Each structure stands twice: as structure tokens, then as C-alpha cells.
Structure 1
């Protein structure tokens, strides 16, 4: 049980927090008949996420297009494991990956948790990086839009600020008019979902189902490996 007695608002990251992002990636590799040799698909996926975060900083500076970012993150991840992948093949994987992301389902417990939080009169929302339409397509596939109102869904390209900039959390806080120490964020990546909310005065819960290592001295309120039996203990 997790005690957040003063919490009035809970926001979730989207990718690999509300749904398993590995599944569409794995299906894309299988469709494109990509041979990983003896490398585990989850290890490659973690590297794709790593390079996605690294290249995102380059993208928001206007130095790389989003389309090129998506291809380069896959190519760089493969290269890290000594696997060669051409730009054309990486583009094929990315195209299929985007297709598979429209077929996604939420983690089994997610919708129940959101409804439970809402029943406790908490503000519940989503805060995610990415292009507005692309991310909204995922949210609709997950049917999250049916239980979270549009004014509680914040997407970086629509705001003009992106994680890991802590100002995106300050922006959301102003929009919902709740004090920072009464806001909580749940996400899977350390740099984007743990560090900036804490620096913005929020509480952070690290959804570490990929078993990553902390990258700084920041301390999340809780670290959870799954949503099994997860609930927020509130008055």
C-alpha cells in the first residue's frame, strides 16, 4: 500500500507506463523478419528507449527531425549490440511499430486504478512527450480518453515544453491549480518521470517494470515493479 495522504492530483506517463510498449516493438521486429541473433528483444528495446531520450533533446533544439529521430534510435540501438541495420530497414521497423501502436491495450489493472483514484475525488490525468495526434491515437486505442477528460491530457508538442524540463510539471500544476506538494506523477523512466517532477516539487512513483538503475540521488516516494495489487491509500 502506498501512502499519499496529501495528494489531490495523480498524473501518469503514457508510453510503457499505461501500456506495454515492448509488445508492439516485438511484433514490428517479427513482421519485418529482423534477426536479433542471440540478443534479447527487451534489451534492444531498452536501448531504443535510451536513444529516444537522448535524441529527443537534440530534436527539441531543432537539430534533428522527428522522423529521423525515430529511425536513428532504432539503428543506434542495434549498433550497440553489434547488429547492423540499414536506414531503410530501420524505417520499415518504425513504420510497422507505429502501426502496432494503434492496436495496443492498457496494462490489465490500469483502467481500474484510474477509476479508483477518480472515485476518491482526485484529479487524474496524463502527461506525455510527443506529437499531439500521435499520442492521442494511442490514448484512444487504450480507451483512456473515455475516462480522462481532454483538459486533463497534456502532450508536450501541444504545450511547447517537454520532459525532462521541470517546467512542464509546473505548467500542469498551474492548469489544475493544485499545490505542487499535492501532485503525484507515475512513470517508467528515471530522467523523464522521476527527476523533473521531484525538482518541480511533486511526488514521484517510479514504475520500474524494466528493472532499470537509478541515475541520480533523487528519491521517489515509491518504486513499483507492477500494478498488481497496487492502490493509493488515501483518506
Structure 2
């Protein structure tokens, strides 16, 4: 099955789908003199993202500030690996991480891939979780805002819904006035991208460049390691 060819609307996740989300984290740790082996670095980062998702639910209920979320996700993740971070250390890593995010670059083939996609698909957009200004700033740094129109960029804080709630996918299809089976989502995380898009009735492509294993019975329509694997 070729999900791209069958779909009329293609939406992308942002973090670790359009650029390497691990690189600014790696550089932030290096700056703060926390040098981890490559394998351990990725494992720690996975747990940071896990706790980010867990604490995001608390944040959306107004029970924790965004600044505290970003500090605590680091402390929880590092604690699993026997590294106890003080709040000051976690804050220093987070501050450097934000600076390093100003240097992010899109995966080499992604800009041309999106441009080619837009020549043959009526709708191409982005769906990402996070604070609106923060996520939009990343999109501008990646220069993707010069390709994808703003009205097709959906950020959770702006619409009041966030992945893994499948209603965010239903919201988008209503906004675009398109049936779910004509929509395709491309993302890297199992829980946030694959599961809810499938449950919303979308086709989905798992961008599994980290070579992770499925976490449930859900079956993505395609699995790719890079964008050269997709035939438009």
C-alpha cells in the first residue's frame, strides 16, 4: 500500500520527524560537561521525551508551569540512569538546549521532498504538540514556513487539543473538510503519532529512523527510515 499516493492530505509531525531532535540535546549536555556514550544518550533522550509527554498532561491542566515541566522532565529521566541533577543543573541544560534549538537544520532531503509533495497533493501541513510560539519558531528556523502556509500548521497549544488525543486528528480533517481515509500522517513516535492517527481512521507512515520497536498491536501503513524510501 502506498499511503502517500492514496492520500489527498499529508501532515507531518515536527520534532524528530523534520529535523534531528537529538542533536541540540547532545550539544546542550556537552556544553554542560555531561558527556554520555551515543547509545546511552539516545536512551536518556527517549526518557526525557517520555516524561515530557507525561508532564504535558499535568501542564495542560494548569497544575505545573512550562518552565518547571522542562526542568523536571530532565531530572526524572536522568535519575533513571543514576544521574541526580539538581534543579540548577537541569535549568542550565534546558537553557542551553533552547539556544541549541536555534541552530537546528531540517533533514537534508525534507525541504525538497515537501516541495515535490505539494506539487501533487492539495493539502500538506504540520501537526505538532507544544507551545505555539516555541514550535512556530522552530518551523521558521527550518524555513518550512516558507513552503507550508500558516493555515495548515496546527500546534496543540493553539487549538486546545494535543496528541495522543485522536480528536486532534478529527479536528484537522474537519478544518480541511476532508475524509479521514484520505489523510496521512508521518511521525516518529509510536504513542503520539502512530496510535492516535490510526485510531482516528487516518493512514500513517512511521518515520522510524531511531529503529524502535512497536509498543502496541497497531500496524502503520508504511515504515520508513528516511524520506528516500517514500515514492510519491
* TM-score, normalized by the shorter chain, greater than 0.5: yes
Matched, 1:201 2:187: no
Contact 1:113 1:231 in 2 (8 A): no
SS at match of 2:6: coil
Q: 1:36 to 1:230 in 2, by over 3 A?
A: closer
- Alignment-derived partner of residue 118 in structure 1: 118
125-134 or 34-43: bigger deviation: 34-43
Deviation, structure 1 residue 87 = 0.9
- Alignment-derived partner of residue 78 in structure 2: 78
Q: Deviations over 1:99-156 (max 9, x none)?
A: 1111110001111110111011331100000111000110000000000000010000
SS at match of 2:165: coil
Q: 1:4 to 1:14 in 2, by over 3 A?
A: closer
Contact 2:164 2:192 in 1 (8 A): yes
CA-atom RMSD in angstroms? 1.6
Contact 1:186 1:205 in 2 (8 A): yes
Aligned pairs, number:
232
Could you say which structure has the higher helix fraction? Answer: 2
Q: Structure 1 stretches of 5 or more lacking a match?
A: none
Partners of 1:25 and 1:57 in 2: how far apart? 22
Relative to the length of structure 1, the TM-score reads 0.94
Q: Structure 2 stretches of 5 or more lacking a match?
A: none
Contact 2:3 2:221 in 1 (8 A): no
Contact 1:36 1:83 in 2 (8 A): no
Deviation, structure 1 residue 48 = 0.9
Structure 1 runs, 4 residues or longer, greater than 3 Å off: 1-5, 35-39
- Alignment-derived partner of residue 229 in structure 2: 230
Deviation, structure 1 residue 230 = 2.7
Any residues of structure 2 matched to 1:8-87 within 5 Å, and which? 8-36=8-36, 40-87=40-87
- Alignment-derived partner of residue 101 in structure 2: 101
Relative to the length of structure 2, the TM-score reads 0.95
49-58 or 25-34: bigger deviation: 49-58
107-116 or 52-61: bigger deviation: 52-61
